Amino acid sequence: MVLLGLVALLFAGALSQRVPARAPLSAAGPRVGALTDDQRVGGLRFAPDVHPLDQQVILAVIARARSEARALIDQVDGAVTVRVAATGENVAGVTSSRPGGYDVVLDLGAVSRQLGERGIARLVLHELGHVVDFALVPDDLARKLDEGVPRGYGCEAGASDGACAGRRERFAETFAKWATGDIGAALSIGYRIPPPDSLEAWGEPLARLEGAG
């Protein structure tokens, strides 16, 4: 899931809603299981009501991502259906699993208006990072990658960002930073999770997953 925020806060949902304080994108549901051959070679699917211009924006974000990240997304996108819609108060994106695949909902309107192209790139790649995590990253590698991400700052009761952020959100946020090379300075979206000392070093194990069975 992705949260939005104002300059001092972070993450938002619908157009009329403010972008709240830095918070995590959200993901829900169990692993779907092994991807089928058709899913591995298939492309991203869009719900029938997704406007062609929104489709182009999303595909352009993926096309601009670093090649290793694109290769991982290419392995999983055939299992993904994307919708563009409001996702609730203080939420900009949601990823969930279902039998046979994954659903990604993006509030492109709110993010575009408040955060522009950088915000859209973070939103799209954070949510697709959840799918990469669910579908491709084994538990031992997930733990290793999480060890390479500094703890966030602050952990207030009931919060889900900063030091309270869960592993899946920490992975998805760092995946998006690695995929774009943008650590998010002055970008009010995310979980207040510091970047690794080196995004290149952090992502090396992921790059080795490229082309994995």
Check pLDDT > 60 for residue 138.
yes
CA distance 128 to 37: 19
Task: Give 187's pLDDT tier (boundaries 50, 70, 90).
Answer: confident
- pTM of the entire predicted model: 0.83
Task: Give 2's pLDDT tier (boundaries 50, 70, 90).
Answer: low
CB of 114 closer than 8 Å to CB of 78: no
For residues 31-41, average pLDDT: 73
Share of the chain above pLDDT 70, in %: 82
Check pLDDT > 60 for residue 16.
no
CB of 23 closer than 8 Å to CB of 90: yes
CA distance 181 to 171: 15
For residues 138-152, average pLDDT: 93
List phi, psi (to 5°) of 117: -65, -40
